[in-house]
Structure 1
Amino acid sequence: MKLQSLVLAAATALTMTTAFAVPAGTWSVAAGAHYVDPKSDNGTVNVDGTDFSVDVDGDVRPTISGEYFIANNVGVELLAAIPFHHDITLTDNAGNEVDAKTQHLPPTLSLQYHFDGYDMPMNIKPFVGVGVNYTTFFKERVYLGNGNDLELDDSVGVAGHIGVDIPFADTEAFRIDARYMDIKTDASLNGADLGEVDISPWVYGVAFVKQF
């Protein structure tokens, strides 16, 4: 699903009317885990005149989010997590590899619409959202010998969110969701620009949700 489709679905949902089931003023908290799955082909960087293709691997970490409903079925959600760890492989045209790694935190703020009160099968409650992601990188390292300083700039980009809540009590549910995050970072080595690394992952997760 393209990010544009998520944005369109969110905009359409916000214009619909129904018998609302989540009143304004409600809070919810979701605790679970998410897997960050970077896109394939993460770009090309140039190190001392040699081009290297970039491959960033995935990682799973515990996450938590809080959502406040500013209107019936319309919530503002903030996603947080403990740092994700990514191994990075740089490969030149001859097949030579250089290893690197980084950690990052990707807090994401989203405006969401919950299809709650639509008489769905098994009382499931789909939702869609769109927002902004801020990703900060730290503890970057490249294995090119001592004294080499790899830096990845912070990233700000659009984020899309889609998922479903499966209730098992009046105020409790099991959540399955997926997010798209537009994450692009400028890389540098010892202060010299290397090029852009495009991570832009899909993020898949499960969580326990509690409403208050």
Structure 2
Amino acid sequence: MKRLTALVIALVAGGLPLAHAQQAADWQAGDWQVKFGLHVVDPKSGNGSLADGALKTDVGSGLSPTITAEYRVTPTFGIELLAALPFSHDVKLNGTKALSAKQLPPTLSAQWHFPTDSAFDPFVGIGINYTRFFSVDEKGPLAGTRVTLGDSWGPALHAGFDYMFNERWSLTADVRWVSISTDVKVDGTKVGTVDIDPLVYGLAVGYRF
């Protein structure tokens, strides 16, 4: 993850002077852009506790391919939907691996693109996320129990940039903050809430049509 973060920073720093060497894409209302990428869901440090504070919870990071589709309502305003293949996460209780689970985090965002008259297209966005957890595999201290993780709804913030190689193709580096919390039940009894609230960051290749 540190290597990917360094790569994103390097692309941002390197893209600024190069952007002016390329011709700006002439975005129009009605344009679409589809992006295929690879992203990391990196939960915040410390994700709460279960069983009245007795079990400290830590959620590990997950990596998965992603796809986004954005429709430009105007040349500078778009609506974007993020989808992905399932992300897998390990969960530790008091430092011991206790379960693994998969999740899907579709996110719908409204995005503002800053006009630059160059190939460099920075943007910010705000939206709503729905996360569904499934394929829970209990291990260690939870082996032999049935754990369920509740669905989550929450706000999401987005920022990044597109670097347009030409009128059609682009490279994107971006980061999101997503509010994700899930209620945890063991054998049908709620034992607490896990607050994940991750940063989601990565790279993608885009095609405009």
**What are the residue-to-residue correspondences of 1:40-189 with 2, within 5 Å?**
40-46=45-51, 51-91=54-94, 97-116=96-115, 118-119=116-117, 123-143=119-139, 144=141, 147-189=144-186
For the Cα contact (< 8 Å) 2:26–2:167, is it kept in 1?
A: no
Q: Secondary structure at the match of 1:25?
A: coil
State the distance in 2 between where 1:114 and 1:98 align.
Answer: 42
For the Cα contact (< 8 Å) 1:21–1:73, is it kept in 2?
A: no
For the Cα contact (< 8 Å) 2:99–2:142, is it kept in 1?
A: no
Q: 1:113 and 1:145, CA in 2 relative to 1: closer, same or farther beyond 3 A?
A: closer
1:198 aligns with 2:203: no
Which AA in structure 2 matches 1:51?
A
State the distance in 2 between where 1:44 and 1:84 align.
Answer: 22
Q: Which runs of 5+ in 2 are unaligned?
A: 1-24
CA drift of 1:50 comes to 7.1
Which AA in structure 2 matches 1:206?
L
State the distance in 1 between where 2:60 and 2:144 align.
Answer: 25
CA drift of 1:62 comes to 0.4
Q: 1:38 and 1:50, CA in 2 relative to 1: closer, same or farther beyond 3 A?
A: closer
Q: What corresponds to 1:14 in structure 2?
A: none
CA drift of 1:22 comes to 1.7
Q: Deviation string for 1:21-77 (max 9, x for gaps)?
A: 42110011000110010000100001xx77100011101110001011112211110
Q: Which runs of 5+ in 1 are unaligned?
A: 1-19
1:33 aligns with 2:38: yes
State the distance in 1 between where 2:65 and 2:53 align.
Answer: 38
Q: Secondary structure at the match of 1:71?
A: coil
Q: Deviation string for 1:130-170 (max 9, x for gaps)?
A: 00000000011222465410010000000000001111111
Q: 1:145 and 1:72, CA in 2 relative to 1: closer, same or farther beyond 3 A?
A: closer
Q: Which runs of 4+ in 1 moved over 6 A?
A: none
TM-score by length of 2: 0.84
